[in-house]
Structure 1
Amino acid sequence: MKRGEPLNEYDVQQFMAGRFQDNGLVTMEAPNCSVNANSGNPHYEPTKDVHTDIKAGDFVLLDLWAKKNKPGATYNDITWVGYLGSSVPEKYVKIFEVVRDARDAALNFLKKSFSERKSVRGCDVDDAARRLITERGYGEYFIHRTGHSITEDLHGSGANMDNLETRDERAVIPETGFSIEPGIYLMGEFGIRSEINVYVSKDYEVIVPGEPRQQEVLALLK
């Protein structure tokens, strides 16, 4: 874009897929690039025939997932957001901060609970994130579960961080992994999600393999 070349969501999606291949990674389906109003639909994905051009002043959400191409490899699944400008408008900053704080509320709930050797259910983790978003006035715009089990499959068979789509009362147990990915979706405007992966060790240590976590919307044209 800095060179003035045209760019669209599908171009970015295919670039990411190419980087996976270059680095020996495999995935079940192509990653996602959503701009502006498309990011407000968590089910949107660009295709060769249906996509939106990307230009300066656009908000962009990238959701990507892959694993090493070897037996026993587990998936990593992350979402980051950015703004194609030198400074990020306040409307994006405001919503991102709510989402970020909800993500960290769920993570801190896990850490505190396990440090005290308390049992944690998937639905409890969802509650921690959803409670904060609701308290900030955006509960109705958080329209999916907080996270899903991750194994050798992108959506594994372990406990999901869910008290919305289902009420997952299964315990979060050691040596399992999952995502934490709260989001706020303002349909027709934009949506913001921040996704991290979490692994619970055999000693109940809560590890975020993809540190650092995103702390602010990235200004991509500085």
Structure 2
Amino acid sequence: MPDLDATFLETASRELKKRGIDAWLLYDFRACNALAADLVGLPEGQKRRYFVLIAPGRTPHALVQKIEVSGWDGWPHRLTSYVGWDEMETELRRMLDGMDSVAMEVSPRDSIPYVDNVPAGVVELVESVGPRVVSSVDLISGTAAQWGARGTELHHRAAEILARTARTAFELAARAAGLSPEADPGTADAFETAGEPTPETEHDLAEWIRARLRAEGLTGADTIVAVGPNAAKPHYEPLAEGSATLAAEQVFMVDLWGRVAGEPEAVFADQTWMGYLGPEPPPDVTEAWDAVVAARDAAVDVIRANPGATGADADRAARDTLAARGYADAIFHRTGHGIDRELHGVGPTLDSIEMRDDRRLVPGVGFSVEPGVYLEGRFGHRTEIDVYMREDGPEVTPSRIQYNLWRAADA
């Protein structure tokens, strides 16, 4: 049943007033605007255009094509139907009468494609009947991207499960390589592995991780396990056929994510951990690892030192750190993505390269910090943590993050 969450309506009204915008105009057609569809409660979309107006002090107002009114049964707010395009435009003009500005999911020059979901023609239509269209990106940061107290609590729970699972995965990989993992008191303890089957390949270990995360109560859970040259492929997928063997003297990477199951407010956690299946990594492996750790910490330091920091600011800090150490040509992706109830959320990203994300990292939003270097044909390193923006600055999860490359010695 379509509806608008009461907390969302309250925060949206507050954000609109704060920014001097008359209303937020949600638009969708065949789920082309996933944000609007989710907010309204019609995630599968509808076959015909609809608008929903949210304005402070006014009842939310939906404008829906008449044949699809039945899909709005139970809508507790105002609803107007139309049949033809001329009637739709007339009703839209009435809906927006007296307004100077409305926010929609647009981004000038497509600089933030995550929220650039309203076609240019629809913007032209709306502006032809009255108000100027402005971007809703800052409204999104203050509403849909907010974690909330419950979401933050559940994120912490997921983060600790991921950290323990990652450490356990490394210990299983070490066992597979005939090695014994060296202790790292700076990171989470592994789960008990007695009786666990020994994986032989990246794919075997990935399957074990997925099963473990589900058993620990996470949903949306998945992983990337990569060793040696495969770790230089940022989105490598270890398939059953052709997956690499977990052998000694290789760089080891595990990227894993998930959220607490059965909790609509649960926020994802997303982490990457690195190890070396041997006692002494070669100097180039150690140097690259030290570089990505420094880049990760540089991004967080910029955010902590500057309350007005943007995602682009943090990305540049990490990127500059890697470039200063000689890895400018080994950076393949942005520094981080927004996180909320979706793994790649609608809030700010840490990006100044793939897109120009100048959204401020405001309290209540969260994101990953995951700089990486990828030396094709040799190895790659990525370290990934998550950050939640509290009123007093960034909070990092999990509780113990990685500074030392995990190692394993002869058994």
Same fold (TM over 0.5): yes
1:82 aligns to what SS in structure 2? strand
Distance 2:223 2:344 in 1: 15
Deviation of the 1:56 alpha carbon: 1.3
Letter paired with 2:332: I
Q: Of 47, 71, 77, which residue of structure 1 is paired with 2:239?
A: 47
| Deviation of the 1:2 alpha carbon | 3.4
Structure index of larger Rg: 2
In the alignment, which residue of structure 1 is the partner of 2:251? 59
- What count of residue pairs does the alignment treat as equivalent? 216
- Between Structure 1 and Structure 2, which shows a larger proportion of helix residues? 2
Q: Aligned runs of 1:91-110 on 2, under 5 Å?
A: 91-110=284-303
Asked whether the equivalents of residues 302 and 309 of structure 2 are also in contact (C-alpha less than 8 Å), the reply is no
Is the 1:81–1:192 contact (alpha carbons within 8 Å) kept by the matching residues of 2?
Answer: yes
SS in structure 2 at match of 1:167:
coil
C-alpha separation between the residues in 1 aligned to 2:256 and 2:301? Answer: 24
Distance 2:234 2:297 in 1: 20
**TM-score, structure 1 normalization:** 0.93
Structure 2 residue corresponding to 1:88, chosen from 260, 266, 281: 281
Matched, 1:20 2:213: yes
Secondary structure of the corresponding residue to residue 31 of structure 1? strand
CA offsets, 1:32-70, max 9 Å, x none?
A: 001111110102111122311111112110000011002
CA shift, 1:6, in A, is: 6.0
Code of the aligned partner of 1:62:
V
Equivalence for 2:405: 217
Structure 1 CA distance for aligned equivalents of residues 342 and 365 of structure 2? 12
Q: Post-superposition, which runs of at least 4 consecutive aligned residues in structure 1 deviate over 3 A? A: 1-6
RMSD of aligned residue pairs (Cα, Å)? 1.5
| Partner secondary structure for residue 184 of structure 1 | strand
Which secondary structure does the structure 1 equivalent of 2:329 belong to?
Answer: helix
Q: 1:2 — aligned with what?
A: 175
Q: Residue 38 of structure 1 is aligned with which of 211, 226, 230?
A: 230
Aligned to 2:375: 186
- Mapped partners of 2:397, 2:312: distance in 1: 22
Of structures 1 and 2, the one with the larger relative CO (CA 8 A, separation 6+) is 1
Which letter does structure 2 place at the counterpart of 1:192? H
1:76 to 261, 269, 289: 269
- What is the TM-score with the length of structure 2 in the denominator? 0.51
Contact 1:88 1:218 in 2 (8 A): no
TM-superposed deviation, 1:209: 2.0
CA contact (8 A) 2:229 2:377 kept: yes
Q: Deviations over 1:123-153 (max 9, x none)?
A: 1110010011111111111110000000010
- Structure 2: 5+ residue runs without aligned partners? 1-173, 179-197
Which residue of 87, 106, 123 corresponds with 2:312? 123
User: In 2 relative to 1, CA 17–6 (structure 1 residues): closer, same or farther, beyond 3 Å?
Assistant: closer
**3-state SS of the aligned residue for 1:80?**
strand
| Stretches of structure 1 lacking an aligned partner (at least 5 in a row) | none
Of 149, 172, 177, 2:366 maps to: 177
Distance 1:204 1:68 in 2: 26
